Chains A and B, each alone.
Chain A
Amino acid sequence: MKPSGFAYHRPSTVAEAVDVLAEVSPAGKVLAGGQSLVPMLNMRLAAPAHLVDVNRLTELAYVRVDDDGGRRTVVVGALARHTDVEHDAAAHAALPLLREALRTVAHPTIRNRGTTVGSIAHADPSGEMGAVLALLGGTVELRSARGTRTVAAAEFTTGPMETSAAPDELVTSVAFPVPEGRTGTAWTELARRNGDYAVCGVGVLVRLGDDHRVVAARAVYVSMGPVPTVLDLTEPVAGQDPRADDDGWAAAGRLAAWRLDPDDDIHATAGYRRQLAAVLTERALRTAARRATEVAV
């Protein structure tokens, strides 16, 4: 469990970084927190000839809430650690789903090092942050010596551990749009051990109309398919009163379980995962709807 040899680069600006990436492309790999990449190097599952360490790019160490005429976005730079995002007060006030989901990402020591952008770039179908980005319809900003482009989350993640980023591109930031109106969100998951990747995880967003009735419900799942799966669950819950004990929530859970197509693996059967999807979806929707009623618009 020792990596094979590689050339190590440690640029100190983004401009330098993309130059190095262009120079060594396609043999370069970005090293961020190393919490996923280093184990892969040690097990020789990856053997890049060049590592481009971005840990000196302090210009990317930020978490920001942008406001564009009332449309707010939480923008996370590539060097923001999971912990920075988790503990950012403004980000939490704008988008509490971030902290709620991050608390289920690994353990504090790993969050101190691992980056939110790195986790999205890594595109593990069990990764919470990629799923949150997909649920909210966020975007990814990529930079290379060739220029800058912005890609929608749905186009960024193309498969398990696969993205549309080119080998010479650096992800500089990701943007999580803050849902507008009377909306509530929730993240819930079940993992075998505290901090493990989820057996099934679900994030939901519920929007209420001015009459406090449900107008939209959407969910995203981790560990339930090759990429984060976003489902529209509005139909069974439309018009429902969040405070009433309607059975629309359970119906939405059943609908989700029916629409998902998870695999068996060594930790759980597909059938059990579906059962969890049904139960966790129902629980998360109830929570999110209740939270939506508390939003001041």
Chain B
Amino acid sequence: MTTSMLGEPIARREDPRLLTGQGRYLDDIGHRALAAAFVRSPHAHARIVDVDVTEALDVDGLVAIYTHDDLEGRVGEPLPLLIPHEALTHGRTPYALAKDEVNHVGEAVVMVVATDRYVAEDACERIRVRYDFLPPVVGIEAARDAALLVHDDVPGNVSAHLVQENGDARSAIDAAPNVLELDLAIERSASTPLEGRGVHARWDADDHSLRVYTSTQASTSVRAALAAKLGLPPDRVEVIAPDVGGGFGVKIMHPWPEEVLVPWAAIRLGREVKWTEDRREHFVSATHERGQLQHVRVGFDDEGRLLGLDVTVWHDNGAYTPYGIIVPIITTTQLLGPYKPGAYRAEFFSLYTNTVTVTPYRGAGRPQGCFAMERTMDAIAEHLGVDRTVVRERNFIQPDEMPFDHGLTFQDGRPLIYDSGDYPATLEKIKKLVGWDDFAAFRSEARAAGRRVGIGIGCYVEGTGVGPYEGGFVKVETDGTVVVATGLTTQGQGHQTVFAQVVAAELGVPIERVAVTTGDTRRFGYAVGTFASRAAVMSGNAIAIAARKVRDKALRVAGEALEADARDLEIVDGTVRVVGSPPGAPGTSIPLATVAVLANPLRYAFDREAERATQFGGPVDVSKPPVAEGDSPGLEETGYYSPPRSTFANGMHAAIVETDPDTAEISILRYCVVHDCGTLINPRIVEGQIHGGVAQGVGGALYERMVYDDAGQLLNASFMDFLMPYSTEVPVVETDHQQTPSPLNPLGIKGAGEAGVIPVSAVIASAVSDAEGFAVTRMPISPSDLHELRLRHSSEGGPAR
């Protein structure tokens, strides 16, 4: 059972611990720590005139109050712009505590440290900040009009403007026999993990070292950022991601103001300090995503084949650009999906608004791109009177055209080249799964009963596993357990299971013996982070490479002990044995644990394993050193995987919806997914990722929006009014897999983490349009929105289906 581990749908090994409350999340750490709380701006745009702390000073239990004036050295400088880009000509990042100006409701202005969070909030309440109001810029239209500016020195509110072009799209469209234009909009949503952010820091003055626990997706990067900010040697800073209750992108943003301030205060005060974010803080001071306006112009032939595609995107980046312009770059490159666009031109404006900053949320710009492309495909089908799947198929990149070069630059700065994929096969599967060809009959039946139903489809291609690299460490202990470490972090994906599966398969050991550690800089110092569906591809392959090296060494050492050729040996169930030898035959096998002992020449025998090892100790060659030159003691290796470029997964979703003719309620009757992420390490985990992704997609399609008023107040900053779907709102997801291995990595895998969310808004828009007989162009759509749309279309005299 050990060697066929890869591809097995085994149950998640972490679940018994997590589901029985044994998880250790940030707030479970450091009960004696001082608590931090923040006074945050109640205004969207204002100048800070004065901070008066007098009334707070006599709060019993207050320890410290800090404003920007207190921040020394680099702590007082703006936070880093993590991913610069030449098109990002006007990047701006916030200060850890606002200096002179606040640019969104929720921006941290004052930090309070007290004996507990209750007291800290009491003190916050008594601090008076005087502001001079500035008129806020709210919404993409206002930002684009630029009658008012977010940052005085950023003309037009434009942080970045980028045009990418392959061929002469505008001429191709002008020359095309058919031309359509679409105006589309997607509203804001957010990652909304159940566990918010949180940081705990402990300074050891004797050791001159800092240990930080943080609910992050990138512990090694947080370490580098903290060392730089606080002026500490990186070697004296340890950063650990404990159990993390969800990230979905928001926790790849770092260092947060609080992530810098809490350790800074811990050093300054010589006390443990902790900050656990509450839900309101998360809504107004973490990050959001998704908000875009789009204009599409497309030219196509009479068969529906694209001749030219010209897309303009106005992307709302919020108040600052700490994470660069990854999101609109992804939107404008991943928009292409499985299609050949003909000539393509994509232009985006990334715009400042006085609202919460935008950084990647699961899908990271892809849902918006997919929405633009798939709405366009449906519009073409409608225009020509051709089935929607037929138009798509006519535009597919064919398997024999792989690798396919789009002539553009992807988010990682590398060429946008699809490595593999069989789109016609995926389409065939999704049509079969949802019963596309039988839908007309179902619709007639439903209509006869006074019901309104519609079917929709959406296709996507997702660049996954972006570099630059990840590493893996694999070590066989002398008791036969295998410890594995990788630097990237885990937020519930099931890494303890899949990485262990990889090691069990590569090394030939029972999975029960494999223990995996992630996101702990004490265990592995080089890493990038968990985002962009990259963990399995990057760390999975790095760990596989490390495991193969361990295996090679184990066979060499065992070969010496058994006086056999390493090539004649195999590892089965944690035992090295001569291939084909009868089980138990003397001198033909040796436990891996013993090999681990032999690999480490010891002076002292202190346990049974060491004693047992001595029986294999042959005559000693005293002319050689016990550890040969170039060799190292022990059975442990480190491996790195660095891909030439991203690997491209793909998938297609289809849904059947029903809309109530009177109440405009929208129900999803069926939701089907066919998904291709290359070779599957564990189909059950991939399905779990898809289900979670679809759930978030349904949220984005039917429920979630960030409702800002004109003053820049977020009106629904709680789970009462921000409508994250409950399990009762999420449909049963029917899945089927397609496996087109990636030629780019040893395991042939592609990422799966974000896929589920990408096409959902496109699919639901397609299905609702089909049910209603008019095109839905803005998402999400609520029953109230649908009701208003119906009124508009019936007054325009459009037919209702």
A binds B: yes
A192 at the interface (CB under 8 A from B): yes
Is there an interface contact between A4 and B125, defined as CB atoms closer than 8 Å?
yes
B347 at the interface (CB under 8 A from A): no
Contacts A1-B278, A272-B788; A193 near B729 (Cβ below 8 A): yes
CA distance A192 to B117 in the complex (A): 34
Is there an interface contact between B723 and A192, defined as CB atoms closer than 8 Å?
yes
CA distance A199 to B703 in the complex (A): 14
B795 at the interface (CB under 8 A from A): no
B707 at the interface (CB under 8 A from A): yes
A279 at the interface (CB under 8 A from B): yes
For residues 84 through 140 of chain B, which have their beta carbon under 8 Å from a beta carbon of chain A? 117-118, 121-122, 125
A2 at the interface (CB under 8 A from B): yes
A3, A194, A268, A275: the one within 8 Å of B782 (CB) = A268
For residues 718 through 769 of chain B, which have their beta carbon under 8 Å from a beta carbon of chain A? 721, 723, 725-726, 728-729
Is there an interface contact between B280 and A43, defined as CB atoms closer than 8 Å?
yes
Neighbouring B residues of A275 by C-beta, 8 Å: 662-664, 787
Neighbouring B residues of A4 by C-beta, 8 Å: 118, 121-122, 125
Neighbouring A residues of B703 by C-beta, 8 Å: 192-193
A149 at the interface (CB under 8 A from B): no
A58 at the interface (CB under 8 A from B): no
Neighbouring B residues of A280 by C-beta, 8 Å: 663
CA distance A280 to B783 in the complex (A): 14
B481 at the interface (CB under 8 A from A): no
CA distance A123 to B722 in the complex (A): 23
Neighbouring B residues of A192 by C-beta, 8 Å: 703, 723, 782-783
For residues 167 through 220 of chain A, which have their beta carbon under 8 Å from a beta carbon of chain B? 190, 192-196, 199
B125, B665, B715: the one within 8 Å of A44 (CB) = B125
Q: How far is the CB of B537 from chain A (nearest CB, A)?
A: 35
CA distance A99 to B117 in the complex (A): 41
Cβ-closest chain A residue relative to B791: A271
A147 at the interface (CB under 8 A from B): no
A52 at the interface (CB under 8 A from B): no
Neighbouring B residues of A272 by C-beta, 8 Å: 664, 783-784, 787-788
CA distance A43 to B717 in the complex (A): 12
Contacts A5-B122, A267-B784, A268-B782; A194 near B729 (Cβ below 8 A): yes
Neighbouring B residues of A5 by C-beta, 8 Å: 118, 122
B178 at the interface (CB under 8 A from A): no
CA distance A278 to B155 in the complex (A): 50
Is there an interface contact between A190 and B715, defined as CB atoms closer than 8 Å?
no
Is there an interface contact between A193 and B728, defined as CB atoms closer than 8 Å?
yes
CA distance A276 to B117 in the complex (A): 44
Is there an interface contact between B280 and A266, defined as CB atoms closer than 8 Å?
no
Neighbouring A residues of B663 by C-beta, 8 Å: 190, 275-276, 279-280
Contacts A1-B280, A2-B117, A190-B665; A267 near B122 (Cβ below 8 A): no
A269 at the interface (CB under 8 A from B): yes
Cβ-closest chain A residue relative to B662: A279
CA distance A80 to B664 in the complex (A): 37
Neighbouring A residues of B725 by C-beta, 8 Å: 193
CA distance A101 to B782 in the complex (A): 24
B716 at the interface (CB under 8 A from A): yes
Cβ-closest chain B residue relative to A283: B662
Contacts A1-B280, A2-B121, A266-B707; A271 near B787 (Cβ below 8 A): yes
Cβ-closest chain B residue relative to A42: B278
CA distance A211 to B224 in the complex (A): 84
Q: Which of B125, B662, B665, B723 has the most CB of A within 10 A?
A: B662
Neighbouring A residues of B726 by C-beta, 8 Å: 193-195
Is there an interface contact between B279 and A1, defined as CB atoms closer than 8 Å?
yes
Neighbouring B residues of A279 by C-beta, 8 Å: 662-663
Neighbouring A residues of B664 by C-beta, 8 Å: 272, 275
Question: Interface readout for A261-273 with B: 1 if CB under 8 Å, 0 if not?
Answer: 0000011110110
Q: How far is the CB of A7 from chain B (nearest CB, A)?
A: 15
Other A-B pairs, 4, CB within 8 Å; known A1-B279, A192-B782, A195-B728: A1-B278, A3-B118, A266-B707, A272-B783
11 cross-chain CB contacts under 8 A: A1-B280, A192-B783, A193-B728, A196-B723, A266-B715, A267-B782, A268-B783, A269-B784, A272-B784, A272-B788, A276-B663
| Residues of B near any A CB (own CB < 8 A) | 117-118, 121-122, 125, 278-280, 662-665, 703, 707, 715-716, 721, 723, 725-726, 728-729, 782-784, 787-788, 791
Report, nearest first, the 10 A-B pairs whose CB atoms are least far apart.
Answer: A194-B728, A268-B784, A1-B278, A272-B784, A279-B662, A2-B118, A272-B787, A266-B707, A2-B121, A2-B117
